[in-house]
Structure 1
Amino acid sequence: MPSSTAVVGAATAAYSAALVLAPGVLIGPAGLADSRDTRTLVRSLGVRDTALGLALAVAPAGRARWLFVAARVLADCGDAAAFGTGLAGRPTRVPVAAGAAAWGLLTLLAGVRDERAGR
């Protein structure tokens, strides 16, 4: 059975790869203008998060895994802050920022669960 961190990492990588292939997956729900620049930015986020997700999926227990957990949590907190301020005044602000924060929390909880289970 895979670790919780590996499952969260694989889910992160899958969603993030979708952003690279189809940036509208985030652009539409976030209420962003669908422009070439926005697609480029979303693809960039997708590449970053695909790499972090894959790293989480394969990282061995211990220091390496915690390094990737921390990187993922920090990236999600940064995204939550950026969306929270950048989408000010829009109805999509709270759900999009909360979604980013929730992924960070989920990653942290998976890491803690695996640590406690000795995986």
Structure 2
Amino acid sequence: MRVGLVRTVGVATALYGAAVTARPDLLARPSGLTDPAGRVAPATGICLRPLALRDMASGLAMATAPEGPALRTAVLVRIAADFGDAALLGATLPDRDKRIKAAAVSVGWGALSVAGLLLS
């Protein structure tokens, strides 16, 4: 396992999760989940914050878990979340271009975690 890589991905994920928790528009806008004026509906923000908290928690686990089974489990959770996001966002976002971009970003982050897990 490339511990430095998975810890870096964990820190980046945790920071992004914290940012989206504070400002759901950081995820809503690139995902096309805004009204025509670019505003995020309160209900959308409510739905995005738990995802952001999940990212923050899984990222912190990757950044701080002791090497061995605990870190491997944290990385596997992150991989599952990223590939799950790719599948769901890629299938359900309202705009085709946004679906493709969201899926690509999610797969990219998941691939970084896979690489960190498998490379020695």
TM-score > 0.5 by shorter chain: yes
For normalisation by structure 1, the TM-score amounts to: 0.88
Bigger relative contact order, structure 1 or 2 (CA pairs below 8 A, ≥6 apart): 2
Q: Is the 8 A contact 2:32 2:94 kept in 1?
A: no
CA deviations on 1:36-71 (whole Å, 9 max, x unpaired) are 121111111110010000000011211111101110
The number of equivalent residue pairs is: 113
What SS does the corresponding residue of 1:8 show, helix, strand or coil?
helix
Tell me whether 1:4 sits opposite 2:10 in the alignment: no
After the TM superposition, list the runs of 4 or more consecutive aligned residues in structure 1 that deviate by more than 6 angstroms. none
Q: Name the structure 1 match of 2:98.
A: 92
Can you give the 5+ residue segments of structure 1 that lack an aligned partner in the other structure?
Answer: none
Tell me whether 1:75 sits opposite 2:81 in the alignment: yes
Q: CA RMSD in A?
A: 1.4
The separation in 1 between residues aligned to 2:23 and 2:101, in whole angstroms, is 20
The separation in 1 between residues aligned to 2:117 and 2:78, in whole angstroms, is 11
Percent of residue pairs identical? 39
Q: Name the structure 1 match of 2:37.
A: none
After TM superposition, the structure 1 = structure 2 runs for residues 21-40 of structure 1, keeping only pairs within 5 Å, are 21-33=22-34, 34-40=40-46
Using the TM superposition, name which of 103-112 and 71-80 deviates more.
Answer: 103-112
**Aligned amino acid, residue 8 of structure 2:** V
Shift of 1:88: 5.5
For normalisation by structure 2, the TM-score amounts to: 0.87
Shift of 1:72: 0.4
Can you give the 5+ residue segments of structure 2 that lack an aligned partner in the other structure?
Answer: 35-39
